[in-house]
Structure 1
Amino acid sequence: MIRPLDKRNFAALAATLAVGTLVACGEPNISQEKASPYVDQWSKSVEGTLREMAVAPAGKKNFQERLQKAAAQAESKLQRDEPPYDVLVNRVYQGIDYQFALVERTGLTDRGQAVWKTLEAVEDHALDADDYTLAEIGSGLESLEKANARFEKLETFETSDAEKDAAIAWLTQQPVSTFELTDDNHAKLTQTVLDSDSGQRMKERLANYETVSTEIAALEAKVEHLLMQNLARYARQMKHFRIHEIFVHPKNFDRWTNPNIEGRRPDKAEATWHARVAWRTAAKMTRDIAEKKEAEILHKLIEQDLEKALTGDVNTALASLKPAQPQYAGLQKEYVRYKEIAEAGGWEKVPVTRGLRPGREHEVVAKLKKRLQVEGFYPADAAIDNKYDDKLEKAVEAYQETHQMQVTGKPHHMFWASVNIPAKRRMEQIALNMQRWRESDIRHDDPMYVYVNIPDFHAEVWKEQERKLRFRIVVGNNDLAPKEKREAARKNKDESFKKHPNRTPTLSAYIDRVIYNPYWNVTERIRDEEILPEVRASVEAGYKAKIKRLLGVPTKKPSEQAGEEKSEEATLTGTVGTTPSAEAQQEQATEMVGADAIAKLREQSGAVEAAPAKPTRSAESFWSKNGDGRLVFDVAALRQLVGGGAPDAGSADTAGEAAPSSLAAKFPYIDPATGQVNVNSTNPDAIPGWYEANNYEVMFPGKKWEYVRMKQGDDNALGKVKVIFPNLHDVYLHDTPHKALFSRDIRAFSHGCMRMHEPLTFAEYLLEQDGKLDEYNVRRILSEGTYEPIFLDKQIPVHIDYVTVRVDDQGRANFLADIYDYDKFKEEG
């Protein structure tokens, strides 16, 4: 009902409330017919508005003082590994003028509820709740609720007719376009009346409310502060505890494909190569800056996430703090499940019993059923008896399948070793791997990336947040480095030494090329540890045989001996299939039939020179073994044998002289100073035949950039294709001619690189996504066997991680082999 104004007071009220509003020509004011019902509705809100006005100023002042004091304390005791949370919180609230966002007089806002719900669940993410002040926040919320209950019991405020008249008078002075008659403007109208001469009663009531609102203001400030402080800690532990890797190889160039290095094979993608030089140089500069400013960058990232939680979509902001890869969410659910199992007492140990088989009965079977039932493998409603039935067989199969075991349905050695691991340890394993996911460099919102999990022995391709490919791989073995290298590293305190050099490293990089019909460029370590010992042994065997020949010691029939000599000569010179010179043939004949036979031939032909005297010492006396088991040749005796005597001036056996001695010509790999065979550097005129015989070749022998590579072909260790992502560890994905290993459950057999079960499918998928598959005839390239590097226009991130628990497509935790012994737990007791 429209209530008319008192005509005698109308002019005075209008003059009192007028604020100098100018009415646009022709624009009407708010009519009394619309103002009166609006004021009636407004009057019902005045009580609440006054209460809020009483609390808000005090709360804001209290809050600002509290945050500034906390920030000052945080700055005075900065810790290296702990961000100054209160400094970051103060900065964020300073940006919004210290307005409350999470707390209001009656409790938490919707935004605050979202933050509180997230913090209450920190233990579900395997974070230590003791790091958080959750109990203090809960206590503060309870105190705030009680204080508000007392506040609500204060005498209510009823709006008088005079105050309503004042409101109507003011409204009817306002143009329609300047004040909208909505609930949102109730507080504005209250403030207008409060500031007028008619607002004296309101001012008195507001002062009364302010007197009793001090406690509420303090509680609001405390809860808001603690919520945001804890959210900052949560952001740090979930996401911002370190700077994620920049995925670019820190080297300025890739030495195997540099088109300008002297003597290197040219790379036809020269422009692409030079572009990568600039790209990697820029990345190195960026990373250097990031490392110097790591703390500053991390603090800024935390601050940005706090701002999003306060002013943006709070649910999106909170969700962004968790790893987005589906594996994390799956592990988190399984962690909660195993935590509940562990807190309920876990499962009892089952006595190891050999010979359990389907169809048999045994008292241990009931215990095994109960054990598997607790973990969810044996049906909850199935009978717990002593018969090994089909349900138990399926439960054992499921257990074996989710623990990287041979699936037989019958308990075997690995099964018994696993099934009695306590539930608490399984919970800890999941927690450890959740942390690994928080540390991972994977950005799940990347358009495409490749994910390799070492203990899973699988690689996956993810595109647009969906898994497109999953295939088996073989990873690096866990063998120890040679004993002498371990001892040398320990003696020299070499911290960079790798005790297990073949372990596949964890890293993030970018795939930048696919190479068909690759060579295997042997790494210096592998050449040093595996190839050179075999080459040395082969040369040593050849030298032993040559010494016997020079001594005229026949060991086989002439025909067999001739064949052997040819093979040995190939071992020494690598010249199988070539025709030796006449001089070489004479020398070879001498070595083949012996000195005595040549002497008789010379006598029969009337030769005037005397035959050399037959050596009186045995062949075996020309070599021995030192304390390290290395073969050592008697250099002085060898010089006499080959007719060189002591090294002459100008002999290559003496330092700084160029002319080769007979010893250097006959035994080029014997070090005259030590008597040992040294094949570390290859003589281009006497390449050991071992390389040719084993499908290797020495590139640029004798040069400073000498290296060994395995030739292309069916026996090449890299198979038909390799996928390169430049990195400091020189590892990559590649094909292999040895497919049998892919049938094994545990596949750790390589030198560190990853062998792929379906390499051609993977390579073609990469080319297809890059738009290059139609440009290259892969079938022709493979059939012709030509070396073909194909550089991608868009490099693809690849992440190699070490995660020993994963969830399968059914959401069940799969416990994988800790092949490198990276899972470390404190033993109880």
Structure 2
Amino acid sequence: MQGMSFRQGVAMALADVDSGIADYYRSRDFAPVWTGEGPAYDARRSALLEAVRMMPENGLPASLYTVEGLVSQMRAATSGQARGRLDVELSATFIRIARDLQTGILTPHDVVPEILRKVPLRDSSQYLDLVQGNDPLGYVHSLPPQTAQYAYLMKARYQLQQVVEAGGYGPVVSAGVLKPGNAGAEVGTLRNRLAVLGYDSGSLSTSYDASLISAVKAFQKDAGLTEDGVAGPATLSLVNRTATENLEAVIVAMERERWINRPLGERHIWVNLADFSAKIVDDGVTTFRTRAVIGARQENRQSPEFSDVMEYMSINPSWNVPRSIVVNEYLPQMQQDPSAASQLELIDARGQVVPRQAVDFTQYTASNFPFDLREPPSERNALGLVKFMFPNPNNIYLHDTPSKYLFAKDMRAYSHGCIRLAQPFDFAYALLARQVSDPQQYFQSKLDTGKQVQVNLKQPIQVHLVYRTAFADGYGRIHYRNDIYNRDARIWQALSAQGVALTQVRS
């Protein structure tokens, strides 16, 4: 039984914290979590101080709390009432730090509306229960993501911080384009810049020779660019990224990892919008990868970020045109020319096809147009010959496309938001391989019917649409991508506003 003055202190402090903490103390008859005596309480207080120390190394604000400040508060609480108030304050502090470490300091949708991800938040009572377990320090260390990706990002953050504090990567390449056969100081600068970034050509020559071509191609491969050995604008924009820019990208990527700090699925699909790629991951290993086209840069066409579960594929799909595209794009066309987009069928409320000549499109507006549009199955269908469905309120899915030429481009943001795959058939075979003996023959037999066929996945697969401008490969090398939607810039600004600080060296 706690002394009356301690209970009074707790009761007074509960008025200033959220209801979850108040309910927790009441359910335990105001028992202390932190300020009791004995080894168990010593271990909890040590774990709390360790959580504070972990904040900056995890790319989180170092200025919100200090070890010295907390220790001073603990020493100053000499009366029962003061200890009661302090106990509640330390609980509130620990919960905030634990949540920051485990699921991020930001609420993603508040920063970027297109991030629709549900962050796996934990209840306040869970944090307080677990820190009172047998190993409080081990629990605190388990809070940040325990993935190899996060570990590589943490290492990169530390290394980049040293580079920034030492002055950066050195001079940037000022030339617009450098090609094989060129010579001069700018070629030497390119060679030096690549060497600093980990692509050492093994030469000090100022001529654009075979060794530099190899280094440029290696960089382009890792950067997801066309491997032509020419240092053009797209290549140089990434070569010239400053150490500070890379550090900011890594810290943002760490926050993004915290937002998805939950089991991703032993087998899952990972779509990195910033990398224009989609892959199947089995037990942490990428077993299939393909290029992707994502939503265009316009605000109403950007691909959102979220996770869901893929349930089936539709072979020979019809395209039920989204309402926004019907009224904003096709209705104006048909008002000018009733035969426009003639591949699309006009569908009434009963699901019947309506002849276009029977409709005066000029009599309708976006708000009262009573028809839907549907494109029947064909090779020219906007969805191609297969789509992969994870039903969601965003009406986003993965699919084939007749516009194959777009996959040859380095920047592939052209769709209305859905994800187009460069190798949709091979993607389908990889998914079906776990449920049929001959996935290619099975898929082709459905395709050859020419009719829309739904094939359910016997084991639904988690799908994660993410946006990573900094990410590690399986060897720990960090790769960087352009912030095409300007999302990470906004996230960095929000992190900075929370107190995340860098040494601002840009060179």
The TM-score, its normalising length taken from structure 1, stands at 0.48
Q: Tell me the equivalent position of 1:727.
A: 392
Q: Which residue of 1 aligns with 2:69?
A: 136
* CA RMSD, 1 decimal: 4.8
The within-5 A match list for 1:430-469 is: 430-440=250-260, 443-444=262-263, 446-469=265-288
Change (3 A) 1:447 1:136: same
Matched-pair contact (CA < 8 Å) for 2:153–2:472: yes
Q: 2:60 aligns with which of 127, 134, 147?
A: 127
Q: Secondary structure at the match of 2:337?
A: helix
What's the offset of the Cα at 1:786?
A: 2.2
Alignment of 1:334 onto 2:156: yes
SS in structure 2 of the partner of residue 727 of structure 1? coil
Q: Is the 8 A contact 2:6 2:82 kept in 1?
A: no
1:534 paired residue among 333, 338, 348: 333
1:418 to 238, 241, 261: 238
Relative distance call for 1:781 and 1:369 in structure 2 (3 A) is closer
1:757-781 CA-to-partner distances (Å, cap 9, x unmatched) read 232333344445467988x943321
User: What is the CA–CA distance in structure 2 between the aligned matches of 1:767 and 1:102, rounded to whole Å?
Assistant: 60
Question: 1:422 offset after TM fit, Å?
Answer: 2.6
Asked whether the equivalents of residues 235 and 305 of structure 1 are also in contact (C-alpha less than 8 Å), the reply is yes
Question: Cα distance 1:464–1:73, how it changes in 2: closer, same or farther (>3 A)?
Answer: farther
1:753 aligns with 2:432: no
- Structure possessing the higher relative contact order (Cα contacts under 8 Å, 6 or more residues apart): 2
Number of the residue aligned with 1:344: 166
Separation in 2, partners of 1:772, 1:74: 64
Q: Distance in 1 between matches of 2:7 and 2:184?
A: 68
Shift of 1:94: 6.7
Structure-2 change in CA distance of 1:95 and 1:515 (3 Å): farther
User: Which runs of 5 or more residues in structure 2 are unaligned?
Assistant: 110-117, 347-355, 497-503
Query: What count of residue pairs does the alignment treat as equivalent?
Result: 471
> Which residue is equivalent to 1:24?
none
Question: Among residues 470, 485, 493, which one is paired with 1:820 in the alignment?
Answer: 485
Q: Secondary structure of the equivalent of 1:470?
A: strand
Alpha-carbon spacing, 1:221–1:538, altered in 2? closer, same or farther (3 Å): closer
Query: Of residues 8, 11, 15 in structure 2, which corresponds to 1:76?
Result: 15
Which has the larger share of strand? 2
Alpha-carbon offset, residue 785 of structure 1:
1.5
Percent identical among aligned pairs is: 27
User: Deviation per CA, 1:716-759, whole angstroms, max 9, x where unpaired?
Assistant: 22222111122222121112233232232221121211112232
SS in 1 for 2:461: strand
Distance 1:116 1:130, change over 3 A: same
> What code does the residue aligned with 1:529 have?
N
Question: 1:451 and 1:679 mapped to 2: Cα distance?
Answer: 42
SS of residue in 2 equivalent to 1:471: strand
Amino acid in structure 2 at the alignment position of 1:124: E
Partner of 1:234: 97
After superposition, the Cα gap between the structure-2 partners of 1:234 and 1:462, relative to the gap in structure 1 and judged at 3 Å, is farther
The 2-side partners of 1:703 and 1:535 are apart by: 12
Task: Tell me whether 1:427 sits opposite 2:366 in the alignment.
Answer: no
What SS class does the counterpart of residue 514 from structure 1 fall into?
strand
2:449 is the counterpart of 1:784: yes
CA offset digits 1:269-324 (Å, max 9, x no partner): xxxxxxxxxxxxxxxxxxxxxx9xx9xx96x7233133223214446633542234
Corresponding position: 1:407 with 2:206: no
Q: Which amino acid aligns with 1:238?
A: L
1:354–1:819 Cα change, 3 Å:
closer
Matched to 1:454, the amino acid is L
Q: Distance in 1 between matches of 2:208 and 2:357?
A: 71
Larger radius of gyration: 1
Alignment counterpart, residue 797 of structure 1, candidates 447, 456, 462: 462
- Provide the rounded CA distance (Å) in 1 between the counterparts of 2:339 and 2:455: 42
Point out where structure 1 has 5 or more consecutive residues left out of the alignment: 1-59, 145-213, 246-290, 480-499, 542-569, 575-665, 672-676, 682-701
| Matched-pair contact (CA < 8 Å) for 1:445–1:465 | no
3-state secondary structure, aligned to 2:309: strand
Contact preservation (8 Å) 1:103, 1:112: no
1:470 alignment counterpart: 289
Q: 1:311 aligns to what SS in structure 2?
A: coil
- Indicate if the aligned counterparts of 1:74 and 1:86 stay in contact, CA closer than 8 A: no
Q: Deviations over 1:568-596 (max 9, x none)?
A: xx99x99xxxxxxxxxxxxxxxxxxxxxx
* 1:331-385 deviations in Å (ceiling 9; x for gaps): 2222222122112221333251356455665234444444444444438xx6766
What is the CA–CA distance in structure 1 between the aligned matches of 2:456 and 2:320, rounded to whole Å? 18
Counterpart check, 1:321 vs 2:254: no
Q: Which has the higher helix share?
A: 1
1:207-226 CA-partner distances (Å, limit 9, x unpaired): xxxxxxx99x9999999998
Shift in Å at residue 532 of structure 1? Answer: 2.8
8 Å contact from structure 1 (residues 444, 465) kept in 2: no
Alpha-carbon shift at residue 823 of structure 1 (Å): 2.7
2:404 to 736, 739, 742: 739
C-alpha change, 1:714 and 1:738, in structure 2 (3 Å) is same
Answer yes or no: is the 8 Å Cα contact 1:93–1:99 preserved in 2: no
Q: CA deviation at 1:103?
A: 7.5
Residue 391 of structure 1: how far off its partner (Å):
5.3
Structure 1 residue 713 corresponds to structure 2 residue 378: yes
Give the Cα separation in 2 of the matches to 1:785 and 1:667: 28
**Structure 2 CA distance for aligned equivalents of residues 237 and 420 of structure 1:** 32
TM-aligned CA deviation for residue 819 of structure 1: 2.0
